[in-house]
Chain A
Amino acid sequence: MHEWALAESVLTAAVETAEKEKLKKITEIKISIGELQQIEQDLFEFALNEIIKQQDKMLKNVKIIIETEESVLKCKNCGHTWKFKDMQKKLKENEAEAIHFIPEVAFVHTRCPRCNSPDFEITIGRGVSITSIKGEK
């Protein structure tokens, strides 16, 4: 499962940040998942928990909060904005899966619903990121 690699990157980044901030323990990690990447949250949480079990005490009993962020796209050509979920149903299975792995291939497989331009941007809700970390010094 590809979610494992993303979970691993979240926890590696969290530990790196905690070390920079000289935290002895991480108590809470808040994670945002952008809708565009279509992460399977169950798999992602399973991977997080499995990796935490293998990690040192810095992550012991850490509270993980996962929030999903709606994905909003904006056309650079005509200015139209739209949500990924509005167009998700029109995607073929292989196209949706490609966007799951590499969200930017949305520019390859989808177009602006108003003017059909491929020149749009992902305003919010691209992929996985950490929004906050809490810990003890």
Chain B
Amino acid sequence: MDTRISVIDKRLSNIKNVISVASGKGGVGKSLIASSLALILSKKGYKVGLLDLDLYGPSSHIILGVKNVLPEEEKGIIPPKVNNICFMSIVYFTEDKPSPFRGIDVSNIIIELLAITQWGRLDYLVIDMPPGIGDETLDVIRLIKKSRFLVVTTPSKVSMAAVGKLLTLLKELKLPIVGVVENMKMNNSGYVKNIVSKERIRYLGSIPFDTKIEEAIGDPLRLYKTSFMKKLEDIVLSNNIING
């Protein structure tokens, strides 16, 4: 009998809110939005955790500039604090080498991480999800019952086709959807907003393509000053995403 699942609820019991930043499509800015959301919440004074579940291509550590830190071992593992955010990622264990995992291994890693990570008290745990509706998404749905989903897309029809499938699945399973953020917007098209509204899902807002964002990657202090971050903060506050 696999014993690890029994203890996951206990590990998450002192976390008030879980927000999984997800998308059906890769390259839409999930990791940037997840990391930035964690920074915004932390700046507001909340106790925040960030869990990067993109096991093949973890990138939150690059965005936050995480270097030379490792979890502490204490009745499990305690995520190190980075910019006042408790940050957990597979990268501590892979040393950023290529990670050729099959599906069963992905599930095993997620279960192990959830079973041994001692988050302590958190107001928010933000999860940076990998793209798609594969093992990681199914495991978060199965194992983290209190997760709400913040879905990210770009204005592209290609992106929206894949994101639509994720939204359909979440709706079918009656899971709480915070809403949809349209990232990297370059014109006034109402394409995404129309589709999302027809599905009776909240369209949270759009973030214009920020040509200077790349210069701020790896430096949270510069990230705070970007137009991307300001717009995301507006979206978070105007939609009451923060609820204590």
Whether A9 sits at the interface, judged by CB under 8 Å, is: yes
Smallest CB–CB gap between B128 and chain A, Å? 17
Main secondary structure of the interface of A (DSSP, over half): helix
- Assembled-state Cα–Cα distance A127/B3 (Å): 10
Proximity bits, A114-137, B CB within 8 Å = 1, else 0: 000011010000111111000000
Interfacial chain B residues near A103, Cβ < 8 Å: 108, 112
Find residues 98-132 in chain B having any chain A CB closer than 8 Å to their own CB.
98-102, 105, 108-109, 112-113, 115-116, 118
Given known pairs A2-B76, A119-B100, the reply for A108 and B6 (CB within 8 Å) is no
Find residues 11-32 in chain A having any chain B CB closer than 8 Å to their own CB.
12-14, 16-17
Interfacial chain B residues near A105, Cβ < 8 Å: 90, 93-94, 99, 109
Whether B210 sits at the interface, judged by CB under 8 Å, is: no
Given known pairs A1-B73, A102-B112, the reply for A129 and B101 (CB within 8 Å) is no
Find residues 42-81 in chain B having any chain A CB closer than 8 Å to their own CB.
73-77
Interfacial chain A residues near B95, Cβ < 8 Å: 94, 98, 108
Whether A62 sits at the interface, judged by CB under 8 Å, is: no
By beta carbon, the residue of chain A nearest B74 is A1
Given known pairs A12-B7, A107-B100, A119-B100, the reply for A101 and B2 (CB within 8 Å) is no
Interfacial chain B residues near A70, Cβ < 8 Å: none
Find residues 78-98 in chain B having any chain A CB closer than 8 Å to their own CB.
90, 92-95, 97-98
Contact of B75 among A1, A12, A102, A127 (CB under 8 A): A1
Inter-chain contact A17/B1, CB cutoff 8 Å: yes
Inter-chain contact B1/A104, CB cutoff 8 Å: no
- Assembled-state Cα–Cα distance A127/B7 (Å): 15
Given known pairs A102-B109, A104-B109, the reply for A5 and B76 (CB within 8 Å) is yes
Contact of A107 among B4, B74, B105, B112 (CB under 8 A): B105
- Assembled-state Cα–Cα distance A98/B94 (Å): 7
Inter-chain contact B105/A104, CB cutoff 8 Å: yes
Interfacial chain A residues near B115, Cβ < 8 Å: 5-6, 9
- Assembled-state Cα–Cα distance A127/B116 (Å): 13
Whether B10 sits at the interface, judged by CB under 8 Å, is: yes
Inter-chain contact A12/B93, CB cutoff 8 Å: no
Inter-chain contact B93/A107, CB cutoff 8 Å: no
Smallest CB–CB gap between A107 and chain B, Å? 6
Whether A82 sits at the interface, judged by CB under 8 Å, is: no
Whether A84 sits at the interface, judged by CB under 8 Å, is: no
By beta carbon, the residue of chain B nearest A6 is B116
Inter-chain contact B73/A130, CB cutoff 8 Å: no
Given known pairs A4-B75, A12-B10, A102-B90, the reply for A129 and B3 (CB within 8 Å) is yes
Known: A5-B115, A6-B4, A119-B100. 16 other contacts (CB 8 A): A2-B73, A5-B75, A5-B76, A8-B7, A9-B4, A10-B3, A13-B1, A13-B6, A101-B112, A101-B116, A104-B109, A105-B109, A108-B95, A109-B97, A129-B2, A130-B1
Minimum-distance CB pairs A-B, first 5: A5-B76, A13-B3, A13-B6, A9-B7, A98-B93
11 contacts between A and B (CB under 8 A): A2-B76, A5-B116, A8-B7, A10-B3, A13-B2, A98-B92, A102-B109, A102-B112, A107-B99, A108-B97, A119-B102
